[in-house]
């Protein structure tokens, strides 16, 4: 079993190396960005926990053997899914690339020998002017979020679910206003990163104080609410921004180091402390952050073991593989029935079917269901499944292959459209989807997740975008003008 785990870890590392190496050969850094992210991200979420399990295995017996076997089969499922997702993505993206090469920008790009800046040749000042007002709206809402939460008694803990909000505040207007503020915070960082790409300058400079302030304040707000995934998102998206701008290596190293430190040191403490009553009752964001560091200082469990336990997505996929036949069985299309209702706000239709649920309840959503298999039905926790878990839950190995390939086709098609339209607004929407969840894999995790997060964020982004139309006027100079927005 040790040999199989190390072999799987090596396979993920090789995939990441191939993706990272190929990434620096593209003159246009946006060319296959989702595929590069998927290859590297999956390696991080699998190779690290597998290697930690191997370390823990030394001198250990009993449960660790079961964990290793479960992690091994989960890793195979996840790897199978991501391979077929990549096949679907490249199949569609290659078709889009052929059309892109014939466009004005494509012809301009292929005559240059050096990496080009994102959105080279478009009217940057027009987009920067409109996005600047967009950023000011986000900054205002970030600043007002906590004061308004005291006035309206909004939940300020990430652990508070929609059902709790609905039971406490049944008003549709209340829930819609709360959702608007929360989603605006979630799209603020992708917006800031695209703004930095449009400027095409050094990331750390006085002229970038507005987008950098939005990023820092967003991190601060999400850290104070206990949202680990949204604290990691700015670091990941800043690495991608530096990559797209062809910035020096030190930016990658610094951001990657900060992300690694957060994963190892703070993630377990943040997960544990946000569930405590002491964290929930503190109104000051500074006091909450102080509590996180104090909790970490007295935590007795080995941090590296706790981190591996929480971040081992393959273990959860293996759990789904073992429990599905003896519990729910293969659920078919039930988790996807609610996809057509994605854009209908739950605040308007509170009984709207749940995306990802096989029985219409939150307990029937896989992260909750998997936690109940381990901790019992009364547990108020979730587990983070790997990318192959829900497709396997839906249709076994056939589901893993078909749903993986279909998801790749959908994202590849939309990414190809982005390339042809050459619109920064589309990139904001796709980066917002990419930055979702603690595993940062919503853009390729499952077709239902992509629709659930991607479409809802896109509608809000384009709504804000149209509100800024009065503040800027488009010039006539553009290398490529396939889009209208």
Of 418 and 446, more confident: 446
What would the two tokens of residue 474 be?
Answer: 């488009």
Q: Which residues of 12-24 are buried (b: 16+ CB within 10 A; e: fewer)?
A: bbebbeebeeebe
Burial of 299: CB neighbours in 10 Å, binned 0-12, 13-18, 19+? middle
What would the two tokens of residue 241 be?
Answer: 């921004």
269 and 295 in contact (C-beta within 8 Å)? yes
pLDDT per position as a tens digit, 127-164? 888 888 888 888 888 888 878 777 777 666 555 544 45
Mean pLDDT rounded to a whole number for the chain: 76
* Number of C-beta neighbours around residue 473 at 10 A: 10
pLDDT, average across residues 399-428: 85
**Residue 483 in domain:** no
Q: Sign of torsion, CA 144 146 148 154?
A: positive
Give the pLDDT confidence score for residue 374 in this predicted structure.
Answer: 84
SS3 call for 56 = helix
Q: What percent of the chain has pLDDT over 90?
A: 12
List the alpha helices (DSSP H) in 123-208: 124-152, 162-168, 172-199
Give the pLDDT confidence score for residue 296 in this predicted structure.
Answer: 56
**Which range of residues forms the domain containing residue 440?**
2-471
**Residue 136 in domain:** yes
**Residue 476 in domain:** no
**Residue 365 in domain:** yes
**Residue 459 in domain:** yes
298 and 285 in contact (C-beta within 8 Å)? no
pLDDT, average across residues 164-182: 63
> Number of folded domains in the chain?
1
- Alpha carbon 449 to chain centroid, angstroms: 10
- Alpha carbon 373 to chain centroid, angstroms: 25
pLDDT per position as a tens digit, 18-49? 887 887 777 777 778 888 888 888 888 888 77
SS3 call for 294 = helix
Task: Name residues whose C-beta falls within 8 Å of residue 25's C-beta, 6 or more positions apart in sequence.
Answer: none
330 pLDDT above the threshold of 90: yes
167 pLDDT above the threshold of 90: no
* Number of C-beta neighbours around residue 438 at 10 A: 21
Give the pLDDT confidence score for residue 400 in this predicted structure.
Answer: 95
371 and 381 in contact (C-beta within 8 Å)? yes
Of 338 and 254, more confident: 338
**Residue 477 in domain:** no
* Number of C-beta neighbours around residue 285 at 10 A: 16
pLDDT, average across residues 7-21: 85
pLDDT, average across residues 79-90: 94
Q: How far apart are CA 137 and CA 485, in angstroms?
A: 19
**Residue 234 in domain:** yes
pLDDT per position as a tens digit, 268-306? 566 666 666 666 666 666 676 666 666 655 554 444 455
**Residue 21 in domain:** yes
């Amino acid at each position: 079993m040790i040999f199989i785990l190390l072999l799987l870890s090596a396979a993920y590392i090789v995939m990441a190396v191939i993706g990272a190496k190929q990434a620096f050969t593209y003159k246009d850094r946006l060319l296959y960005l989702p595929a590069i992210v998927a290859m590297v991200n999956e390696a991080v979420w699998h190779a690290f926990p597998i290697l930690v399990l191997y370390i823990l295995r030394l001198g250990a017996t009993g449960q660790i053997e079961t964990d290793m076997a479960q992690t091994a089969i989960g890793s195979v499922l996840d790897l199978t899914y991501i391979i077929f997702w990549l096949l679907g993505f490249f199949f569609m993206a290659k078709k889009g690339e052929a059309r892109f090469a014939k466009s004005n920008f494509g012809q301009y790009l292929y005559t240059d020998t050096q990496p080009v800046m994102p959105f080279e040749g478009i009217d940057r000042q027009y987009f920067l002017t409109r996005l600047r007002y967009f950023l000011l709206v986000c900054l205002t809402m970030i600043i007002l979020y906590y004061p308004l939460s005291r006035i309206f008694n909004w939940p300020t803990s990430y652990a508070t679910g929609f059902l709790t909000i609905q039971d406490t505040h049944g008003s549709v207007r209340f829930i819609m206003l709360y959702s608007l503020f929360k989603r605006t915070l979630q799209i603020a960082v992708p917006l800031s990163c695209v703004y930095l790409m449009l400027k095409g300058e050094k990331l750390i400079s006085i002229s970038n104080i507005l987008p950098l302030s939005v990023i820092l304040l967003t991190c601060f707000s999400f850290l104070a609410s206990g949202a680990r995934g949204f604290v990691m998102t700015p670091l990941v998206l800043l690495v991608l921004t530096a990559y797209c701008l062809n910035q020096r290596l030190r930016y990658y190293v610094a951001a990657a180091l900060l992300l690694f430190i957060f994963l190892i040191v703070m993630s377990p403490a943040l997960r544990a402390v946000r569930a405590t009553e002491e964290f929930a009752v503190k109104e000051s964001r500074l006091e909450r952050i102080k509590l996180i560091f104090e909790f970490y200082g007295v935590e007795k469990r080995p941090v590296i073991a706790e981190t591996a336990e929480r971040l081992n997505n393959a273990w959860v996929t293996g759990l789904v593989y073992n429990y599905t036949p003896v519990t729910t069985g293969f659920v078919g299309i039930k988790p996807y029935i609610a996809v057509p209702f994605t854009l209908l706000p739950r605040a308007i239709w509170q009984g709207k079917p749940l995306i990802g649920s096989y029985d219409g309840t939150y307990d029937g959503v896989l992260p909750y269901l998997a936690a109940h298999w381990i901790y019992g039905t009364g547990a108020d926790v979730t587990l983070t499944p790997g990318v192959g878990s829900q497709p396997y839950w839906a249709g076994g190995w056939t589901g893993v292959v078909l749903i993986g390939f279909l998801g790749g086709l959908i994202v590849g098609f939309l990414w190809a459209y982005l390339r042809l339209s050459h619109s920064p607004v589309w990139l904001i929407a796709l980066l917002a989807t990419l930055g979702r969840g603690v595993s940062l894999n919503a853009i390729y995790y499952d077709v239902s997740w992509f629709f659930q997060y991607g479409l809802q964020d896109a509608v809000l982004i384009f709504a804000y975008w149209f509100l800024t139309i009065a503040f800027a006027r488009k010039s006539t100079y553009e290398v490529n003008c396939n889009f209208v927005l």
